Amino acid sequence: MRTNFYNEMYTAEQSVRAHYAAFADWLQSRPAGWLEQKRGEADALFHRLGITFAVYGEEQGTERLIPFDIVPRVLTAAEWATLAQGLEQRVRALNAFIGDVYGAQRILAEGIVPADVILTNAQFRPEMLGVRVPGNTYTHIAGIDIVRAGAGEFYVLEDNLRVPSGVSYMLEDRRMMMRLFPDLFSIYSVAPVEHYPELLLDNLRSVAPAGINDPTVVLLTPGRFNSAYFEHAFLAQQMGIELVEGQDLFVRDDYVYMRTTRGPQRVDVIYRRIDDDFLDPLAFRADSALGVPGLLTAYRAGHVNITNAVGTGIADDKSIYPYVPEMIEFYLSERPILNNVPTWILRRDADRDYVLANLKDLVVKEVHGAGGYGMLIGPASSKAQIEEFRARIIAHPERYIAQPTLALSACPTFVQQGLAPRHIDLRPFVLSGREVRIVPGGLTRVALPEGSLVVNSSQGGGTKDTWVLEA
């Protein structure tokens, strides 16, 4: 068995880790064939509930069932305590960064982040300069992707600050586990997650424009053809708010209204699940039929709040990621609790020299991800591919960053041959408004093909329930 990665359940000596011991005993005492039967039940239930999320994340894909794995991913109370502190710290710093970039630009003046990295970035929205947002909050919902490489070794892989998705899997996976294995929840004291929609609604209400006591909150979806439409409908229903499309809203003067059977109703907070580019055809992409014409004017006038704020993409761009630890020190005067993956910035001479000499061992990523050339995974690439990438880096070093290949941790997962370790990550959802709140855990994604490190559902990824044990 491969042991060059951290197994969440077993030590290198193949003994069960303490927090998985009761689960292992429970599993041992099940009759033969029982797990297969339960997995069949889970599949049937997901089909019946209609949870056929097309895709996880922002990619496009066809509608299908995302495989749900019945072995939970378990985090101890102590592990979570550190993660939660680190997540809150990171999101506070990212939020301060966005406010600064669209405000005084202190971090640019201090030379901590080069001005051109921000000001020439396609994700930088001049429309947001000088705009005051309620509570100075930009990243109301953040999905921070975390991987583990060793015992206490958690790394932030990326920050998703635009329209992070996947939280409905977190909720449905928990429901499924409680339904299939109620006895496990009497053996383990697992921190609840089902209040997430309540926290989310509180959070959205807390960032209404000043003076609005009982705000009207809506969820703006691109519509039923969007891959995450199920999640939009699910969250709106759970929060008891209207699920609207762009055509259900309109602007009069510089206020936003919703068409209702009782006439126009003013809207105060829009939880949008569409990208900036599509929000307002009078301000951004003129061909967008998904947005609300005039919305940006109403937003800039302070008459409606948009969550997440417009322009948060400047903080989760790959070219900005390497600077997050410095942001934490700059804005919070704290040491970062969570690690960044070590990253070489190829616009820097020394970094570039090192990377060009070690391409076969590294992962090279294009910073403006949509670019089409994607990434180079050194250890998995041919000499010719590496040379081709080398030429691209030399031509435009500022377009690339590089990282070491990480040994992602693995968790036992139910596959064809029985239980076998498969690589996983974790996406906790961090809510920021009047305060920062995180439901314990998040969504664990699992790469189902053996040896695969790609957890995206479009490429064979599944999900697991994530347990944070109560101390």
Total residues at the site for other proteins (CB under 8 A)? 26
Stretch that binds other proteins, among 181-189, 249-257, 351-359, 373-381 (CB under 8 A): 249-257
Residue linked to tokens 């989310």: 200
111 binds other proteins (CB under 8 A): no
What distance in Å separates the CA atoms of residue 28 and residue 25, rounded to the nearest whole number?
Answer: 5
SS3 state at 259 = coil
Residue type, 378: G
127 binds other proteins (CB under 8 A): yes
Q: Are 428 and 88 in contact (CB under 8 A)?
A: no
134 binds other proteins (CB under 8 A): no
Task: Please say which residue, 51 or 98, places its beta carbon nearer to other proteins.
Answer: 98
CA dihedral over 142, 145, 148, 154, signed as positive or negative? negative
129 binds other proteins (CB under 8 A): yes
The CA–CA distances, whole Å, from 214 to 207, 211, 268, 385 equal: 11, 9, 9, 58
Stretch that binds other proteins, among 2-10, 15-23, 92-100, 276-284 (CB under 8 A): 276-284
Interface of this chain with other proteins, residues 201 to 230, rule: CB under 8 A: none
Interface of this chain with other proteins, residues 279 to 308, rule: CB under 8 A: 281-283, 286, 293-294, 297, 300-301
Smallest gap from residue 124 Cβ to other proteins (A)? 7
Smallest gap from residue 250 Cβ to other proteins (A)? 6
State which of residues 251, 355, 438, 446 lies at the interface with other proteins (CB under 8 A).
251
164 binds other proteins (CB under 8 A): no
Distance of CA 153 to the CA centre of its chain: 19
Q: Are 191 and 440 in contact (CB under 8 A)?
A: yes
Task: Please say which residue, 188 or 250, places its beta carbon nearer to other proteins.
Answer: 250
Smallest gap from residue 350 Cβ to other proteins (A)? 23
CA contacts within 13 A on the Cβ side of 398 = 6
100 binds other proteins (CB under 8 A): no
182 binds other proteins (CB under 8 A): no
For 347-403, the DSSP string reads TSHHHHHHHHHSGGGEEEEESSGGGSS-EEEGGGS-HHHHHHHHHHHHH-GGGEEEE
Smallest gap from residue 365 Cβ to other proteins (A)? 20
CA dihedral over 18, 19, 20, 26, signed as positive or negative? positive
Task: Please say which residue, 294 or 462, places its beta carbon nearer to other proteins.
Answer: 294
CA dihedral over 60, 390, 452, 443, signed as positive or negative? negative
Smallest gap from residue 366 Cβ to other proteins (A)? 16
Smallest gap from residue 122 Cβ to other proteins (A)? 6
Stretch that binds other proteins, among 1-9, 17-25, 136-144, 278-286 (CB under 8 A): 278-286
Task: Please say which residue, 114 or 460, places its beta carbon nearer to other proteins.
Answer: 114
Q: What angle do CA 133, 134, 136 make, to 5 degrees?
A: 65
Task: Please say which residue, 301 or 394, places its beta carbon nearer to other proteins.
Answer: 301
Task: Please say which residue, 129 or 380, places its beta carbon nearer to other proteins.
Answer: 129
Residue 308, preceding bond cis, omega within 30 degrees?
A: yes
What distance in Å separates the CA atoms of residue 310 and residue 305, rounded to the nearest whole number?
Answer: 10
398 binds other proteins (CB under 8 A): no
Which residues have CB under 8 Å from 156's CB, separation 6+? 90, 144, 145, 146, 324, 338, 339, 340, 341
Smallest gap from residue 430 Cβ to other proteins (A)? 29
For 383-395, the DSSP string reads HHHHHHHHHHHHH
Smallest gap from residue 296 Cβ to other proteins (A)? 9
State which of residues 44, 49, 104, 122 lies at the interface with other proteins (CB under 8 A).
122
Candidates 354, 404, 327; CA nearest to 157 is: 404
State which of residues 25, 43, 63, 253 lies at the interface with other proteins (CB under 8 A).
253
Task: Please say which residue, 6 or 138, places its beta carbon nearer to other proteins.
Answer: 138
Task: Please say which residue, 1 or 391, places its beta carbon nearer to other proteins.
Answer: 391
Which residues have CB under 8 Å from 439's CB, separation 6+? 170, 191, 192, 193, 195, 196, 199, 429
Smallest gap from residue 368 Cβ to other proteins (A)? 10
The CA–CA distances, whole Å, from 406 to 118, 125, 151, 322 equal: 28, 33, 14, 16
Residues that bind other proteins (CB under 8 A): 115-116, 119-122, 124-129, 250-254, 281-283, 286, 293-294, 297, 300-301
